[in-house]
Structure 1
């Protein structure tokens, strides 16, 4: 656990989920730059209503708890990490109000702080939703590492919020400043967007944060072609479900099975719910859960887990999430239960699966992807 020091105090912060021998900090230079700018320019006072978007683990939120900030995040992990860090710093959780990306507040804010998301679509959706919450004199400050701020990023701020400028780079981070232009005509968010799923009658809806939002990605297409069918599958999990396409087609192939859709993104889980309900109506029940991998799922209770693991958390690339998914899948599977995984060939998932399950077979492969099956023995 590292110590974040700034003009607002000293705070213990850790990433979430917490791992032994963690090498990465729970904040970046953009967090430090935002807090420094607020302090040096005296932009915040005890009476200010403060809104924060996309704080990963609480660097901004916890530093500014004296101002009772409200946070919007699409990440269940971010919510859990901030709660854990509040506890570690002996801060009353009631000092902070947490919102999901689908649950925006309604009152106006004096200060809005934004960690720029990786997805341009997500930024567009957030700015459109935030604009009605701004006063003419509201302060809007956004931050990111300089490599993540592009001309397209600044154009969105100009188009939706108003005149926009940027700071000089500091520790490879930059800030964005937008003045509120009340004359800009508001439009509704174009999200969720919808496209027809090829070779089916299904319409697929996707919130702004969902991967491959406008069309079927090639990895999922390959996975869908090889999804299993069996009368023995009573309970199936679509782990890391995204828009729920894999679980939806698995439900189509296995009409007597119960489906569970799991993701750490609130928008992903809601997209999966929209798509499943549109496809099957209210008669067929399913479970939709935002959580950390399979936290909260009963041990030895599922027959099949379908998994397309992410290989990054926020901007950090690695296989640590995939490894956690594999281990927790082993725990929730019944004896003879199956984990099916798709991944890029070079990732070497078969090594981990053999270590955890004691076995691993190849279901199908092409030049880029491989589908693996591991059975709990």
Structure 2
């Protein structure tokens, strides 16, 4: 197990879910750079006095920052429930009481006052914009704002957001391909500029050849392809299965929930479960489904199935052998790393959750070769549709097979 050595102590840290085969660390040079700066300063700036000050950490990916700073009782704000789980595990491993860190989601009300704001720059510029707007009212003239990220993650547009929403901004010199961002907040910060998130739009007739046409889509910041329908989802929408025998459907990695909502339209009376590890995504799916369901309450189109919304580790909380259909457009990135680990975990969870005879429908880039993994896992895989970029694959759980982890 890798250890993060900092001026605040040395910590054994892991990602979540913990996998001994995973060689990706739970921190990087950007986290180390920020912690060194807080303790000893960088160039003409710092160190940062933390004792007795209200510290908030935005976007701490696996809890490395708040674990090191737990003695200052920080608030952690993240969009990922997996980051929260990793933080809990890392705090426990470090012998730190869990209540030493206050865990908040990006959907929660921000702290009333922030004296030190530490920002781990997220991959999504939209999420950064939304969160800076939400946190700005909590800042004051004495607030210290320091961001961190790898050089490849910090762009001119990143600095422009800090400057526009919070105040004057500059960067440090690069160290080990990482940079710091220093921002001096105006008072009041964020005044005069409304937060543009969430975005709402209505799908036209080109959205999946019918089942999604007319649906209102709500996208909170940070959701994949937040300002439009991504082409993989659009392709799957044009081939969604429908039938009265489908009782329980899961939109796995639901994003804005458009797949599950369109499936509800095609399968009247079916219950739809929207599952994602992102708080922003599940909030989006809830709003998208609500926009569809409200006008049809009590009508034949909506039926009586209803919906359930789960923020968690995929289908870990869904009972085995309880689902008829799983729809999945899996991600193939984890932060900056390209990996199929998340997709493979989703496929295994889907097989466990499906009833015998239940089906997993997957859309993915053709070059990813998901058909090989699905055949190995399910014993079968059928090509439903394909184009030069995407394939839609269907795997069926065997009639005699009961849910088990691969």
Asked if TM exceeds 0.5, the reply is yes
Q: Secondary structure at the match of 1:294?
A: coil
CA contact (8 A) 1:72 1:104 kept: no
Structure 1 position 183, deviation (Å): 5.5
Counterpart of 1:193?
199
Which residue of 2 is the match for residue 229 of structure 1?
242
Distance 2:107 2:192 in 1: 19
Are the aligned partners of 2:110 and 2:135 in contact in 1 as well (CA < 8 Å)?
A: no
For 1:198 and 1:80, locate their aligned partners in 2 and report how far apart those are by CA, in whole Å: 39
- If each structure's strand is expressed as a fraction of its own residues, which one has the higher value? 1
Unmatched 5+ stretches in structure 1 = none
Aligned length: 377
CA contact (8 A) 1:334 1:376 kept: yes
| Paired position in structure 2 for 1:275 | 288
CA distances 1:166-224 after superposition (whole Å, capped 9, x unpaired): 00000000000000111652433111001111222221110001111111111111100
Aligned partner of 1:180 in structure 2 is 185
The runs of 5 or more residues in structure 2 that have no matched partner are: 41-45, 206-212, 299-303, 399-406
Equivalent position of 2:13 in the other structure: 13
CA contact (8 A) 1:144 1:175 kept: yes
Give, in whole Å, the separation in 2 of the partners of 1:328 and 1:321. 11
Q: Give the whole-Å Cα distance in 2 for the aligned partners of 1:142 and 1:344.
A: 34
**What are the Cα deviations for residues 272-298 of structure 1, in whole angstroms up to 9, with x where unaligned?**
010101101266520000101111110
TM-score (norm 1): 0.98
CA-atom RMSD, angstroms?
1.1
Match of 1:138 in 2: 143
Indicate conservation of the 8 Å contact 1:207/1:268, yes or no: yes
Q: Which residue of 2 aligns with 1:214?
A: 227
Match of residue 373 from structure 1: 394
Which residue number in structure 2 is paired with residue 257 of structure 1? 270
Tell me the SS of whatever aligns to 2:224. Answer: coil
Cross-structure match for 2:335: 314
Contact 2:237–2:262 (Cα < 8 Å) also in 1: yes
User: Do the aligned partners of 2:137 and 2:188 also contact (CA within 8 Å) in 1?
Assistant: no
Residue 96 of structure 1 corresponds to 101
CA distance in 2, matches of 1:366, 1:245: 21
Larger deviation, residues 256-265 vs 200-209: 200-209
Match of 2:319 in 1: 298
**Structure 1 SS opposite 2:27:** coil
Give TM-score scaled by structure 2 length: 0.91
- For residues 27-66 of structure 1, what are the structure 2 equivalents within 5 Å? 27-40=27-40, 41-66=46-71
CA separation in 1, counterparts of 2:25 and 2:366? 30
